[in-house]
Structures are given as C-alpha cells and as structure tokens.
Amino acid sequence: MLTAMKVLLVEDEKKIASFVRKGLEAQGFSVTVSDNGDKASELALAGSFDVILLDIMLPGRDGLSILKELRERRNTVPVILLTARSEMNQRVEGLNLGADDYITKPFFMDELLARLRAVVRRTSGETLSVLHSGPLMLNLITREAKYGDEEIIFAPREFSLLEHLMRSPGMVFTRTQLLEQVWGYGFDPQTNLVDVCIRRIREKIDRDGHQFIETVRSVGYRFKQEENRE
C-alpha cells in the first residue's frame, strides 16, 4: 500500500531531513526534500505528491502559510505538520487550517510511519481534530475529553500522554520514549512519573469493563487497538 508513495518533505533542519528521508526511502517511499518555504510552496502547489510533511519555521514562507494557500486553492493533499514542542498554538492553528495531523519533534521513525499510514487510510481528506475509541473521545483542538456524554477532566500532562498513546494504537512505547515525547525529558529522571500518570488516566477512563491502556510487562504501555479490546 505504501510503496512508491510520493512524499514532499519540507524541513530546513538538515539532520531531521536526512533522518526522515532515509527512513522513508527504506520503506519504499519516493522522497523530495525542500529546505526553503518559497521553493516548497511552488512544489506543493504544482501537485503530484501523495503526502506532505511540513515543518513550520522555515527560511522563506512559513509552513502554515503554505498550508493555508493549499487549502484555499482546494488542494486536499494530506499534510502532516512537523512541529516543535513549543509550537502548541501553531499546531492548533495548523489543524484548523486543514492539516491532517501533526507530529512533535523529536519523533521516532516508527511513529511517523504510523501517522503516514493513518493518513493514507483516511482518504476522505477529513481532518484529525478528534480521536475516538469506543465511548472515549478526545478533541485535540478544544482539549476536551468525554466518556460517552460525560466530560472527563484531565490534567494537561494526562491529556497529552493519553493523546500520544491513542494516536498510535497498538504501538508500544517505553517509559523512556514517553518521558521524551510527552514530558520533553532527554534524560531519565529516575522517577515513576509515567506510571503515576498512567494510573491517573486509567482511574478516569477504565469503566464498564473497558481497559484502554495495556501494560506491556518490562517494556512499557500501549493503547489497545479497538478490534482487540472487546
């Protein structure tokens, strides 16, 4: 399904561009890299890409203005934003402008591939502003969560952790990965932060026999895929 998909990778950080290009090419994608917003915009508007990975801060035009123009011209090419942790507002703006998803740097190749696959599956061009799993719903724009009709109040970190797991159902994340991806720690603080946060989330969402987050012994955690949960 993914072979020969044409990806436009817009990223001016050379290390990231090279890491992503190699990872995608290893999976059989055809990758065009652009490190400049003006050039990237021309390439994107000329069409012929199956998906665009779009950095926000770029020399020349910024990623959001490229996205805006694409959507104004009714170009529905799937766009995944590559965002920095600090770019929360831009991320929300990007989703509102019609980005299909975003991924926070630094990320793991497996995670990016999971997002790409999900975007490819959603052929309708709908934007991913809401995550669902059975009765559980997270709205990524308003940061509201519901179980059925009932609103669930999460601390910001709990929301982010649950979102992170829910975005890649079935994928196991180690505690170290979660500390890096959700907390932004590049070191192991030698605490059970992750476990405590998982426990708080479970207390709020595990009801009616549902167990959404699975503990993978001596590895980490994963969000159960819907078909496996019954």
- Residues that bind Ca ion in the complex, under the rule CB under 5 A: 12, 55, 57
Residue 12 beta carbon to Ca ion: minimum distance, rounded to whole angstroms: 5
Q: What three-state secondary structure class fits 212? A: coil
Q: Supply 132's token pair.
A: 């669902």
Between 89 and 124, CB nearer to Ca ion: 89
Residue 84 beta carbon to Ca ion: minimum distance, rounded to whole angstroms: 8
Between 12 and 144, CB nearer to Ca ion: 12
| Radius of gyration, alpha carbons of the chain | 18
Between 91 and 224, CB nearer to Ca ion: 91
Eight-class DSSP state of 22: H
Between 55 and 101, CB nearer to Ca ion: 55
Residue 35 beta carbon to Ca ion: minimum distance, rounded to whole angstroms: 9
How far is C-alpha 47 from the chain's CA centre?
23
CB 175 within 8 A of CB 215: no
Residue 60 one-letter amino acid: G
Residue 55 beta carbon to Ca ion: minimum distance, rounded to whole angstroms: 4
Q: Give the CB-side neighbour count of residue 43, counting CA atoms within 13 A.
A: 23
Residue nearest to Ca ion (CB): 57
| Torsion angle in degrees (nearest 10) through CA of 147, 153, 156, 162 | -20
Residue 62 beta carbon to Ca ion: minimum distance, rounded to whole angstroms: 9
Between 12 and 206, CB nearer to Ca ion: 12
Q: What three-state secondary structure class fits 6? A: strand
Residues 6+ apart with CB under 8 A from 18: none
